[in-house]
Structure formats: C-alpha cells, structure tokens
C-alpha cells in the first residue's frame, strides 16, 4: 500500500506555544489530505480536508484559526496547532486520499501540552 | 447523528473463536473500507469493497459488502492474539463528498491466548 509519513511522532510543548505537524505522501501524489483527531479507544474525528493549492475545509466545530492547515504541494500538508492548551493534547492523524476513495493513514502524532 | 453504526464496540474472546463485526447505515456508500489500528499507530487499510454483494477474503478475514451497499461485515475465523486491535469501517459517499470518509465508532477486539 501507499506510504504516508508524519513528523514528529510525538511532541511535548508548553501551553501557549505553537506546534507544527507534517504529513507527507512518500510514493504518490495526493491532491487531498485529511486531518483527524483521535481520543483513546475512540474512532477518528475528521477535523479538516486539505486540498493542494486551496484553502482547507474545516468540519463544524473546528476552529480554523487555531488549527492552521497548509497544503503547499502534492506530497505535503501541515497542521499547526496555534497557542496550544492542555485540552489540545491528543493523537493527531493525517491521511492521503486517492481517486479510488481509499485513504492511507500516517502513523500519527501524539501531542502533549503541559 | 452517527451515519455508520458499528457493532459491537468491544469484544473480548479466546484464541480460536470466530467473530463478526458489523457496520450498518441507512445511507448508500460508493465504497467501504476496513482498517485495523494498533495503539499509538495510524490505521492500516485491510480492504476496500466497492460492489454490492462483494465478498473479499484476506487469509482468515472475510469482508462482505451488502447488496444495497448500505452495510458491511468483517468475519474473523479462528482469531489469534495478533488480531487484537481497533477495527474501523469507513464509508465513502462518492464524488459529492469530496473524498471524505464516514467512520464507524470502531470495534476494540481483544483475543486472549
């Protein structure tokens, strides 16, 4: 299957700082990438859809000014959590979409805000 | 409103037993994916089904897509401890949904040796 990487795999930061997470499709080009958030033992919650060269589409209830998404190329999307607070601590996962509707997921980024 | 109902949400069985996980919806999907996720990792694609009535087998795993493309099931035969994980079904709604997937609640499976 296709390979999607995420960096960093985990990050600890102080409250009020910003954190950037990168998502890369390594062996295919993805015009659409997706960002999810996941709480322990729960399913994935879609945060936003990232389209190459255009603004991201955010799901209802997700603050676009807090979770900045940039999809600068067909292989890279970034999620920046701005002014992070402890309640933003979570497991963030990206995926890259394919024309066949299948999504390939990255390994996830564990964020802990102190 | 949960558009894709997945059941059961938790399942603990002994090694060697069989099990079935169900995903049901009142909506039609253009395709449906099954993923398996281990703690601290991203979901890994197991299968994609696209045709109503389709059955796919992956070793001891059998996936079925309902005739009306509204439901799907995952059957595991002779479960092994290595099958332990979170199983997720996800449906796609075609081009009108910009590629987004609708996820079920997930099934946490524990297979005891």
pLDDT tens column, B16-26:
999 999 999 99
Query: Cβ contacts of residue A103 below 8 Å, gap of 6+?
Result: A34, A95, A96, A97, B33, B45, B90, B99, B101
> Given pLDDT bands bounded at 50, 70 and 90, which one contains residue B65?
very high
> Given pLDDT bands bounded at 50, 70 and 90, which one contains residue B97?
low
Buried b (16+ CB within 10 A) or exposed e, B28-49: ebebbbbbbbeeebbbebbbbb
**Alpha-carbon span A32 to A27, nearest angstrom:** 15
| Per-residue pLDDT, B3 | 82
| Per-residue pLDDT, B110 | 97
- The string of pLDDT tens digits covering residues B20-51 is 999 999 999 999 999 999 999 999 999 999 99
| Per-residue pLDDT, B1 | 53
For residue A101, pLDDT beyond 80: no
| Per-residue pLDDT, A112 | 96
Indicate the Cα dihedral angle A37, B30, B22, B64, nearest 10°: -130
Please tell me which of the candidates A32, A46, A105 has its beta carbon nearest to residue B42.
Answer: A105
- For testing contact with chain A, the best of B43, B96, B98, B107 (most A CBs within 10 A): B43
Using only C-alpha atoms, what is the Rg of chain A?
A: 13
Compute CA A49 distance to the chain's CA centroid, rounded to the nearest angstrom.
9
The count of other CB atoms within 10 Å of the CB of residue A83 is: 12
Taking residues B73-79, report their average pLDDT: 98
- For testing contact with chain B, the best of A35, A71, A101 (most B CBs within 10 A): A101
Taking residues A50-64, report their average pLDDT: 90
Of residues A28 and B68, which shows the higher confidence score?
B68
């Amino acid at each position: 299957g296709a390979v999607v990487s995420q960096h960093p795999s985990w990050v600890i930061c102080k409250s009020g700082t910003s954190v950037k997470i990168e998502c890369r499709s390594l062996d295919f080009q993805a015009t659409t990438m997706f960002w999810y958030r996941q709480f322990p033992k729960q399913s994935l919650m879609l945060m936003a859809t990232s389209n190459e060269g255009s603004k991201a589409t955010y799901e209802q209830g997700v603050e676009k000014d807090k979770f900045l998404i940039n999809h600068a190329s067909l292989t890279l999307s970034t999620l920046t959590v701005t002014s992070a607070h402890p309640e933003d601590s979570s497991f963030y996962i990206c995926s890259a979409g394919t024309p066949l509707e299948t999504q390939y997921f990255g390994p996830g980024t564990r964020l802990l805000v102190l | 409103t949960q558009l894709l109902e997945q059941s059961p949400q938790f399942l603990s069985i002994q090694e060697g037993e069989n099990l079935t996980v169900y995903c049901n919806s009142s909506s039609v999907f253009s395709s449906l994916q099954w993923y398996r996720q281990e703690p601290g990792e991203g979901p890994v694609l197991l299968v994609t089904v696209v045709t109503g009535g389709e059955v796919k087998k992956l070793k001891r795993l059998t996936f079925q897509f309902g005739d009306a493309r509204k439901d799907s099931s995952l059957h595991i035969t002779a479960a092994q401890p290595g099958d332990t994980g979170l199983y997720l079904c996800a449906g796609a709604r075609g081009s009108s949904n910009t590629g987004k997937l609708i996820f079920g609640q997930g099934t946490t499976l524990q297979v005891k040796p």
